[in-house]
């Protein structure tokens, strides 16, 4: 009997991955990495180290630690998956850039626009790839709409419509200080409109109101809205219309529709199975649609990790760049301004963009130029 023992061979193409965070989303990416022949997680960190250890044992990760720096600075790590709380993202990205490690970062890149630009610039300066994990782009449904548009299946694109509703409103404390419905919720849909349009937005109009949780009505600006409608104008006068609501009692509502000169494509919500029940007072789905992002976007979370692995192995551009994340943020801020001022807003008006002129922060991306480009040059 001859048995072969496993030698870990680091071929040119196998990416050694370090994972920061062993929470729910960290585990999702660990599972995705397990099915990826080209990537191998070699270390995982978590402040509560027992969670890191449990994950390491389950997914055969040889090392674990309490300290994210151990992951970032591990000599064998090629790329870091940042799955920590949002407030740590910017510093960890910059540390990765400094250590020459590619970065997969759960959204958002940072909690404010200046730090977002700083982190993007740090990666660009260090020539490491940065992936903003806007996972909806990798959802089989939205990706299919994009594919139909790109392939001309619906002809020349005329219009995009997106509907996005959370199952239930977040607690008051989450909304307060969170930046409002455009930044904490519609940001995904604004990015999706740009992804589907395949071009840069020109101006934005938003309107918000409060119907679900009246307690937030006293909060300032867009934090007072739980319902909003947005029109984004793109090249050639084409529009994307987005409606968002913090409550859909029937589940997590995520739909897209694109009209072209040859036809339309649309997507529906996802259900755990195809079963339909026909009873005395009911004919419909046997079960409710997926009601949370972890189940609804399960496949998207896997696909985004596989896509970034592929980009690393084949040295392709990041499939969802830091600039994509930044642009989504700029659009959210502009939407908030529009809703407050009841008028169309151009992206060059965003004050945070104008303020960010310190060359120390913006070596590579000049945000004004970036925003102007987005607004006028497309």
Subset of residues 263 to 322 that bind a copy of itself, contact rule: CB under 8 A = 263-270, 272-289
Closest by Cα among 18, 114, 119 to 70: 18
Q: How far is the CB of 25 from a copy of itself (least distance, A)?
A: 16
Among 16, 46, 53, 321, binds a copy of itself (CB under 8 A): 53
Instruction: Determine contact, residues 375/235, Cβ cutoff 8 Å.
Output: no
Query: In the complex, what is the shortest distance from the CB of residue 34 to a copy of itself, in angstroms, rounded to a whole number?
Result: 5
Q: What track of x and - describes contact with a copy of itself for positions 191 through 220 (by CB under 8 A)?
A: --------------x-xxxxxx--------
CB of 223 to a copy of itself, least distance (A): 15
**Contacting residue, 98, 144, 310, 361, with a copy of itself by CB under 8 A:** 144
Does residue 110 have a cis bond before it (omega within 30 degrees)? no
Q: Which of 165, 188, 194, 202 binds a copy of itself (CB under 8 A)?
A: 165
Query: Among 87, 127, 173, 342, which residue interacts with a copy of itself (rule: CB under 8 A)?
Result: 342
Of 49 and 114, nearer to a copy of itself (C-beta) is 49
CA distance 111 to 88: 9
First to last CA, the chain: 67
Exposure string of 333-369, with b = 16+ CB inside 10 Å and e = fewer, is: bbbbbbbbeeeebbbbbbebbeebeeeeebeebbbbe
For residue 5, state whether it binds a copy of itself (rule: CB under 8 A). yes
What is the CA angle 131-118-188, rounded to 5? Answer: 45
Is 47 a binding residue for a copy of itself by CB under 8 A? The answer is no
Number of residues that bind a copy of itself (CB under 8 A): 97
Residues 62-121 that bind a copy of itself (CB under 8 A): 62-65, 67, 70
**Run of H or E residues at 341:** helix 322-341
- Angle of helix 322-341 relative to helix 113-126, nearest 10 degrees, comes to 160
Q: Is 43 in the site for a copy of itself (CB under 8 A)?
A: yes
Based on CB atoms, which residue is closest to a copy of itself, 53 or 84?
A: 53
The nearest distance, CB 120 to a copy of itself, in angstroms, is 29
What are φ and ψ of residue 215, in 5° steps? -65, -25
């Amino acid at each position: 009997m001859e048995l072969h023992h496993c030698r870990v061979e680091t071929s040119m193409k196998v990416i050694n991955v370090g994972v920061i965070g062993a929470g729910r989303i960290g585990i999702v990416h660990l599972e995705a990495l397990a099915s990826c022949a080209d990537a191998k997680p070699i270390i995982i960190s978590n402040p509560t180290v027992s969670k890191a250890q449990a994950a390491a044992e389950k997914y055969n990760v040889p090392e674990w630690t309490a300290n994210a720096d151990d992951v970032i600075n591990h000599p064998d790590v090629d790329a870091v998956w940042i799955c920590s709380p949002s407030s740590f993202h910017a510093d960890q990205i910059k540390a990765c850039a400094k250590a020459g490690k590619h970065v997969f970062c759960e959204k958002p890149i940072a909690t404010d626009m200046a730090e977002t630009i700083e982190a993007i610039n740090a990666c660009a300066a260090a020539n490491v790839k940065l992936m903003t994990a806007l996972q909806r782009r990798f959802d089989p449904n939205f990706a299919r709409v994009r594919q139909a548009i790109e392939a001309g299946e619906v002809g020349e694109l005329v219009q995009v419509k997106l509907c996005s509703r959370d199952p239930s409103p977040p607690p008051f404390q989450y909304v307060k200080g969170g930046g409002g419905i455009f930044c904490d919720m519609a940001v995904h849909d604004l990015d999706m409109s740009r992804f589907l349009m395949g071009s840069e937005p020109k101006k934005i109009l938003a309107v918000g109101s409060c119907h679900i949780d009246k307690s937030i009505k006293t909060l300032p600006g867009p934090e007072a809205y739980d319902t909003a409608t947005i029109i984004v104008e793109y090249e050639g006068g084409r529009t994307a219309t987005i409606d968002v609501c913090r409550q859909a009692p029937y589940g997590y509502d995520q739909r897209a529709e694109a009209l072209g000169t040859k036809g339309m494509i649309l997507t529906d919500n996802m259900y755990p199975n195809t079963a339909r029940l026909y009873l005395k007072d009911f004919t419909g789905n046997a079960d409710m649609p997926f009601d949370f992002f972890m189940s609804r976007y399960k496949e998207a979370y896997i696909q985004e990790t596989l896509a970034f692995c592929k980009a690393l192995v084949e040295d392709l551009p990041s499939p969802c760049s830091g600039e994509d994340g930044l642009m989504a943020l700029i659009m959210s801020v502009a939407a908030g301004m529009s809703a407050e001022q009841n008028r169309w807003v151009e992206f060059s008006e965003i004050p945070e963009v104008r303020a960010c002129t310190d060359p120390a922060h913006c070596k590579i991306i000049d945000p004004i130029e970036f925003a102007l480009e987005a607004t006028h040059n497309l």
